[in-house]
Amino acid sequence: MLAIIGKIRTSRGIFNRLIIKNDKIIILDNTVNPPEDCKIFDLGNRVLIPPLTDSHVHFIQSGIYLNSLDLGELKTCKELLAFLGEISFDEFIIDETLWGYNFDPIDNMPSAKELDKATNNLPVFIRRIDGHSCSLSSAAISMLPEELRNETGIYIGSLQEKIVKFFLRSLNESTLIKAVHKVSENALKAGAFYIHALFPLYEWIEVTTKIQDKLPIETTNFFETTDIESVKSLGLKHIGGCLLLDGSFGSHTASIREPYTDDPDNLGILYWSDKKLENFFSNSFNAGLSIAMHAIGDRAVEQYLRIAGKISNGKKLKSWRIEHAELIDKNLLRLAAKMEITLSVQPAFETRWGGPDKLYAMRLGNRWRKTNPFRDEIDAGISLLGGSDSYITPIDPVGGIFACIKRVNSDQSIKLEEAIALFADNPAKWENRETPLMVGSKAQAVILDKDFDFESKPKVVGIVRNEEITLFW
């Protein structure tokens, strides 16, 4: 047996003593004395929290990007081109192409000609941080089928989705396996024992399932398709994932009801017609599948809710989920709550883009006060799942919890216990898994260097699994 003594935080309150026997938690209480014949681990200033879940991870892409060139520090197109001209990028070449990601320019994406010059005509594939635009060099364009070629090399909208799919589809199996291991190890070190893993390709789920036993984490797999039969053949009860109803704020493609503040004729893009969506929803509903789809702007969220309401005929849609729902007003929240639809949200987006002087304010003006309204959502009775949308932001559920309690828009901050539930209890409930860190549940936990406060986020320093403690630092 192993006894852990010290501050143990859960969504249900604080405890002082945890006792593990084999792979189960047998005691969680406030007594300080451990029983005899028990190994003891004293937390000291450290704090124990439940094993966490990241409910929105582009799984293989995250692994691929962890192995590619991170452009997150570069602020302009010019800086990018100068950087590419200077560095040696051999280790970031994946299946013959240089992959760069996380690029967040305040001006524009680079053209093919600019990339050719900077990299000496190498095949180059650069993705914008929000995943909704990309740039290709001429050598990369020449790898594409004729109908996807474009002279400028800059892609947005549905064509860019096809470009991304093309490059991802051409990855070989050993590259995929390497990516799966990389992202899994990365997740565990961040305290995520569970991942809701999104897959755009059937073969990727097969590769991941094949090596599942060797991974240090558990995944709940999502196949991002509209093909009901293939989802059923995988034994899944849900369909979709980050399946796009609209685009993103960064690329002016999120579908909104009032125009963009910095582009007054633009309402963004709705990728689906009502008719097509109704068809998909009703076929999935009749097949007993719940649906997850990406909807960022209020017009896209409204479309999801309206069509879901129409096809469900008053039935509750408990495990149905909207991914992101970044701009959503109280009327839409009431509608979602009435149907018991779950929202899968990314608190780190608010840290990165929220407040009066960042991207949301630039694109939406005063509406920055209405983005990611977690307080209103919980008050409306909606179950929230916390995620990162990795590779968009890193897998970092502890950072996600911190982002929930400390917001620029403090009206929408939530309590620490609620924030822990977003990344622990709620996803477990969604998966029909036992509540983590309670008597009878699996012996798993995360060790932090300190408790949560409003100054800085705690760091994951170790994990507990069965009677074993692994310290990373």
Selected from 28, 81, 129, 242, the binder of Zn ion by CB under 5 A is: 242
Residue carrying the six token digits 């779950």: 342
CB-wise, 84 or 242, nearer to Zn ion?
242
Residue 95: left (phi > 0), alpha (psi -120 to 50), or beta? left
Structural element, H or E, at residue 400:
helix 397-405
CB-wise, 244 or 308, nearer to Zn ion?
244
Question: By rule CB under 5 A, what count of residues binds Zn ion?
Answer: 3
Q: Which stretch binds Zn ion (CB under 5 A): 67-75, 255-263, 287-295, 450-458?
A: 287-295
Q: How far is the CB of 294 from Zn ion (least distance, A)?
A: 3
CB-wise, 345 or 437, nearer to Zn ion?
345
Bond into 260 cis (ω within 30): no
Residue 130 sits in the site that holds Zn ion (CB under 5 A): no
Q: Pull the structure tokens for residue 219.
A: 């995944």
Report the site for Zn ion in 344-373 (rule: CB under 5 A).
Answer: none
Q: How far is the CB of 346 from Zn ion (least distance, A)?
A: 8
Count of other CB atoms within 10 angstroms of residue 113:
13
Strand partners, 54: 195
Residue 246 sits in the site that holds Zn ion (CB under 5 A): no
Quote the CA–CA distance of 116 and 133 in Å, as a whole number. 18
Among residues 320, 409, 412, 432, the alpha carbon closest in space to that of 358 is found at: 409
CB-wise, 138 or 160, nearer to Zn ion?
160
DSSP state of 354: -
Q: How far is the CB of 328 from Zn ion (least distance, A)?
A: 15
Residue 317 sits in the site that holds Zn ion (CB under 5 A): no
Q: Which stretch binds Zn ion (CB under 5 A): 188-196, 235-243, 374-382, 417-425?
A: 235-243
CB-wise, 294 or 363, nearer to Zn ion?
294
CB-wise, 218 or 224, nearer to Zn ion?
224
Structural element, H or E, at residue 179:
helix 173-189
E-only strand ranges, 208-350: 218-223, 238-244, 290-295, 321-324, 342-345
Q: Pull the structure tokens for residue 313.
A: 């005929």
Q: Which stretch binds Zn ion (CB under 5 A): 117-125, 172-180, 240-248, 366-374?
A: 240-248
Q: Which stretch binds Zn ion (CB under 5 A): 35-43, 85-93, 238-246, 279-287?
A: 238-246
Q: Which stretch binds Zn ion (CB under 5 A): 212-220, 254-262, 289-297, 300-308?
A: 289-297
Q: How far is the CB of 192 from Zn ion (least distance, A)?
A: 16
CB-wise, 20 or 422, nearer to Zn ion?
422
Among residues 53, 47, 107, the alpha carbon closest in space to that of 80 is found at: 107
183 burial via Cβ count (<10 Å: 0-12, 13-18, 19+): buried
Quote the CA–CA distance of 139 and 279 in Å, as a whole number. 40
CB-wise, 41 or 222, nearer to Zn ion?
222
Q: Angle at CA 421, nearest 5°, toward 418 and 424?
A: 160
Quote the CA–CA distance of 444 and 24 in Å, as a whole number. 8
Q: Where are the alpha helices (DSSP H) in 17-144?
A: 59-66, 77-86, 112-119, 138-141
CB-wise, 294 or 407, nearer to Zn ion?
294
Residue 389 sits in the site that holds Zn ion (CB under 5 A): yes
Contact criterion met (CB below 8 Å) for 445 and 437: yes
Q: Which stretch binds Zn ion (CB under 5 A): 59-67, 218-226, 381-389, 459-467?
A: 381-389
Report the site for Zn ion in 57-116 (rule: CB under 5 A).
Answer: none
CB-wise, 125 or 349, nearer to Zn ion?
349
Q: Which stretch binds Zn ion (CB under 5 A): 74-82, 102-110, 388-396, 431-439?
A: 388-396
Residue 294 sits in the site that holds Zn ion (CB under 5 A): yes
Count of other CB atoms within 10 angstroms of residue 382:
21
Residues in the chain: 473
Positions that interact with Zn ion (CB under 5 A): 242, 294, 389
